[in-house]
Structure 1
Amino acid sequence: SDKIVLKMYRAYEVPRQQYFHLYNLIEELSQNAKLPMPKVYMMENSSPNAFATGRDPKHACVCVTKGLLQLLEENELKGVISHELAHVKNRDTLIMTVTASIAGAIMLLANIARWSAILGGGRGGRRGSGNLIGLIVMSIIAPIAALIVQLAISRSREYGADASGARIAKDSKGLAQALNKLSQTSKYKKLEANPQTAHLFIVNPLKGNTIASLFSTHPPIKERIARLSAMKIQ
């Protein structure tokens, strides 16, 4: 659930009086998107990133890291917040939170299968060997299945949220500039993220090599920036 995700990252709800400017910004953009004001959460992390969660617009939360507020200019921050509000408006928050739960459940089953294979050994003769092989196969296939579930849902919805977010902010350049900054800065300011919830963030918090990037839950940053740069906002 959304509460589990927020607790996982030790996010806390911030008071309006402490982050008055951030609240005003989110309130303005929520009005542009014709959405209720979401709850505002903060992560004590220097890595710039953000995500939205919640089962529907009335129960939505937008969470940002301290690093995000420190790094971005106002038009760039508007772009990021608008992207997250687009997820809320498009009901992606429910779908992506459920996806995270499904992926987590699949990984749990994979771990159970792996430990059953290790602890069970080859007991039971031929039948036991067959069960052991089945458990090993499941422990290999399950994580792949979890990744495929996330890939199928996350990439297309990120492109959609970029486009919708640009329209909410009435500007595509701010988000494009923000994505470039986030991509560069997150290389050396890392966020310890759970692989099953990585798809919730605006940029992938997980680091990997070129081959690993092919299986990223996020579309390539360069492609996202190119699409935003080609947009004409009226």
Structure 2
Amino acid sequence: MAILSVYIYLSSGRWVLKWYKAQKVPRNERSLLYTILETLASRAQVRAPDLYSFESEIPVMFTVKNGSNASIAISTAMLKTFDDLNLEVFLAHEIGHIKNRDVSLNTVTALFAGLIMTFPELVMWGSILSGFGQPEDPAPRVFRFIATALAAPPAATLVQLTRPVRREFEADAEGIKITRNPKVLAKNLEFLEQYIPLQPVISKFNPGHFHLFGTHTHLSRGDSYIFISLFDTHPEIGARTAHILSHSSYPENGIIKKYSRVPGYFDLRSWKLAMASSFVSYMVFLFVIIVVVTFALKDFNFLINGGIAAGYTGAVLMLMGITAKVTIGKYHKKSLCRFTKQFFRTHVRLLRYFVKKERTR
């Protein structure tokens, strides 16, 4: 385990870069950008990171760590949208993550959460190769939806437990200290927040990687749209620009309460649908387990199956409760309490049902 942990720590950044087929930017092609990056790193008193680029029609930038050295990856759309001088504020934000020692945790989290969220695609292709049709046919899409519902809660919980919203605010504060130009950062962030949703592109980014990016870059559509609310890891642009322009390290509670944390991408209805879909999918999996156990025993044993159902449902409810708490935050406490009560009432009813059946038998 120690060797595996060291390997993951040293190589997780390299695997994430390979995930996006990122290539190192030659210094002779972007000499000004390298000069800006090294100047920012010198001001922050950190080691200058390597510079990579990858193909994407969405303007994004993220930082990962390979051992002791960090690497900043910039999409081709980002390089086309902004000139080198405008990229300075975004690079300063990423340097802020390095300065705050966020990168190692973000990189390892992205590796594990990303791997979990590849499960739906594997299930879909498994169903296709098994003869259930093509990607747009009903059966593979249903399998992918169920697999997404199963994978989303643990992956989202893993991401949200790293407190990504606070980390974004703190990286903004460090970026402002380095550049002393908060207005440009606020203006460019507002531009990206308005520009990205207008692009006729479906983002191919893995939901487990959303916390790496500096803005709301996930334009997911289709079957998995409702699960995006679980992975929202960025503050609302109004609260964010207000905190940037106020030069504070972290916004006051008043600003947090005034603005929704997740505008446009998060709404309570989608969140409830995502949680309900995940719960139903886990219960479908429980049905499969009970069927397999029944066939193995060649009899339906109420005591064994009831115990399995009670333990499994309790574990699912615990996962759902943790996911609800870390994804919805403190902005809808009453809804969270009602949702949790409904879950536990369902659990109690199931226990009573199996106990009654066993007594009758």
Q: What TM-score bracket applies, with the shorter chain setting the length?
A: 0.7 to 0.9
**What are the superposed Cα offsets for residues 134-172 of structure 1, whole Å, 9 maximum, x if unpaired?**
xxx998454212112212322221111111111111221
Q: Which runs of 5+ in 2 are unaligned?
A: 1-11, 131-145, 250-361
**What is the CA distance between 1:49 and its match in structure 2?**
1.2
Matched, 1:184 2:190: no
More helix by share: 2
The answer to whether the 8 Å contact 2:40/2:178 transfers is yes
- 8 Å CA contact 2:16–2:111 kept in 1: the answer is no
Contact 1:77 1:174 in 2 (8 A): no
Candidates 17, 30, 37, aligned match of 1:19: 30
Equivalent AA in structure 1 for residue 95 of structure 2: L
Distance 2:120 2:181 in 1: 44
Q: 2: distance between equivalents of 1:69 and 1:139?
A: 32
1:87 has 2:101 as partner: no
Percent of aligned pairs sharing the same letter = 30
Q: 1:64 aligns with which of 74, 93, 104?
A: 74
Match of 2:242 among 209, 226, 233: 226
Partners of 1:26 and 1:147 lie apart in 2 by 32
Aligned equivalent of 2:207, options 195, 213, 216:
195
Q: Where do residues 105-144 of structure 1 align in structure 2 (5 Å cutoff)?
A: 105-107=115-117, 140=149, 142-144=151-153
Tell me which amino acid in the other structure corresponds to 1:31: S
Q: Distance in 2 between matches of 1:63 and 1:194?
A: 15
Partner Cα separation in structure 1 for residue 167 and residue 174 of structure 2:
10
What amino acid is aligned across from residue 87 of structure 2 in structure 1? L
Whole-angstrom distance in 2 between the partners of 1:90 and 1:40? 19
> Structure 1 residues 27 and 206, CA, compared in 2 at 3 Å: closer, same or farther?
same
- In the superposition, relative to structure 1, how do residues 13 and 144 fare at CA in structure 2: closer, same or farther (>3 Å)? same
28-37 or 202-211, which deviates more: 202-211
- Which residue number in structure 2 is paired with residue 96 of structure 1? 106
What is the aligned partner in structure 2 of residue 149 from structure 1? 158
- Tell me, yes or no, if the aligned pair for 1:193 and 1:206 is still in contact at 8 Å: yes
On the 8 A contact 1:113/1:139 being kept in 2, the answer is no
Shift of 1:42: 1.0
Query: Cα distance 1:213–1:160, how it changes in 2: closer, same or farther (>3 A)?
Result: farther
| CA shift in 2, pair 1:211/1:192, >3 Å | closer
**Counterparts of 1:72 and 1:195 in 2: how far apart (Å)?**
25
Q: 1:101 to 1:213 in 2, by over 3 A?
A: closer
| Amino acid aligned to 2:158 | V
Pairwise CA distance, 1:27: 0.9
Deviation of residue 67 (structure 1)? 2.1
Please state how far the C-alpha of 1:213 moved relative to its aligned partner: 6.7
1:3 is matched with 14
For 1:212 and 1:139, locate their aligned partners in 2 and report how far apart those are by CA, in whole Å. Answer: 8
> Alpha carbon RMSD of aligned pairs, Å?
3.0
How many residue pairs match? The answer is: 212
Q: Deviations over 1:62-93 (max 9, x none)?
A: 11122223323555421100001111111211
State the structure with more CA Rg. 2
Q: Residues of 2 paired with 1:2 and 1:187: CA distance?
A: 28
Partners of 1:112 and 1:207 lie apart in 2 by 21
> 1:94 Cα shift?
0.6
1:125 matched residue in structure 2: none
Letter of the 1:50 counterpart? M
Distance (whole Å) between structure 1 residues aligned to residue 54 and residue 72 of structure 2: 11
Q: Give unpaired runs (5+ residues) of structure 1.
A: 120-136
Give the conservation status (yes or no) of the 8 Å contact 2:23–2:52: yes
Aligned equivalents of 2:246 and 2:84: distance in 1?
22
Alpha carbons of structure 1 residues 9 and 196: separation in structure 2 relative to 1, 3 Å: same
Quick one: which amino acid aligns to residue 69 of structure 1?
L
